[in-house]
Amino acid sequence: MSSSINFDPRKFIDKLNILERSVSKTALSSALKSLGYVLTKEEIPKTISNPSGKYGGYKKPVNFTKRAFFYSVNGNELALKVNEYAPKGNAPAKYLYPVTQNPGSSEKKGMSRSTRMPTKFAGHLQRKGYISGSTYPSPNLKSQLFTKTAEGNIRSTDYRQVLFGLARTISPTVDKTKSYNAGFARQAVFSIGTDSQRGVTPGIYRAKAKNSLEMLFKYVPSPPSVPIVFEYQDFVASKAEKLFYERLRESIKRNIDRL
């Protein structure tokens, strides 16, 4: 994700008089920092929590997502970025990419972007040889085995249950899986690959009973396309224009008062 948006304030400087320009360097840095804080800590978190707004947003974003936007000031330039690091799971810059307007593009809400949605779960299945790099595990959200989060997503513990179940089915003596002996990981969970001749849709299944299977994940050729839901750059550009000049004037006044 091209997650950086830069704001250039030069056109605002051109409007200042001689006295105002004399303190503009110090005032500009202060105004840019103020703008960056307001955008990343107040305006963006508020906007992305309202998907029905003009620029869209995300469905029930968690606090980690709301805090994912930050800023830096270098000289006369303000840069907004999206967090590219996460101690666990995926970084916001990765999981927001499929549904967020890419800075510098002409993308709009509703446009589809068919792209790989990176997940550690898919990466683990690839490393273990269950799927190839071009295959994507699509969850069966109708499965009663999965307990959904408030946002309607599958819990991370359920993903771990599936992985432990797969490992247990293949090798019941692995110490790591023996210590995780709860839930449906205790039952037979196995993968049926795309090259299978069993006449069963490729995916990950749980054996409910003899000759009775329940699909947990379906293997699809590629990740499903998803619509862009937040016009990131358009929102920032519009909001920065409205907020910056006021902050610059206030900062200039404070610096002139100190002369």
- Rounded to whole angstroms, how far apart are CA atoms 210 and 204? 16
- Residues 200, 202, 208, 214, Cα dihedral to 10°: -100
How is the chain split into domains, by residue range? 5-114+226-257, 120-220
Residue 143's nearest CA partner among 222, 219, 213 is 213
Residue 243's nearest CA partner among 5, 37, 75, 69 is 37
What is the SS3 assignment for 1-49? CCCCEEECCHHHHCCCCHHHHHCHHHHHHHHHHHHHHHHHHHHHHHHHC
Instruction: Please report the pLDDT score of residue 228 as a whole number.
Output: 92
Instruction: Please report the pLDDT score of residue 194 as a whole number.
Output: 66
Instruction: Please report the pLDDT score of residue 174 as a whole number.
Output: 38
Residue 163's nearest CA partner among 129, 201, 127, 121 is 121
Q: Can you give the pTM of this predicted structure?
A: 0.68
Mean pLDDT score of the chain: 79
Token pair 């967090």 is found at 83
Instruction: Please report the pLDDT score of residue 4 as a whole number.
Output: 63
Residues in the chain: 259
- Rounded to whole angstroms, how far apart are CA atoms 89 and 134? 21
pLDDT tens readout for residues 213-222: 889 999 988 7
Residue 104 backbone zone (phi > 0: left; psi -120 to 50: alpha; other: beta): left
pLDDT tens readout for residues 38-79: 999 999 999 999 999 999 999 889 899 999 999 999 888 889
Q: Report the percent of the chain where pLDDT is more than 90.
A: 23
Instruction: Please report the pLDDT score of residue 17 as a whole number.
Output: 56
pLDDT tens readout for residues 16-48: 555 455 556 677 888 889 999 999 999 999 999
- Rounded to whole angstroms, how far apart are CA atoms 71 and 41? 10
| Sites in the chain below the pLDDT cut of 70 | 1-4, 7-25, 114-118, 169-187, 194-198, 209-211, 255-259
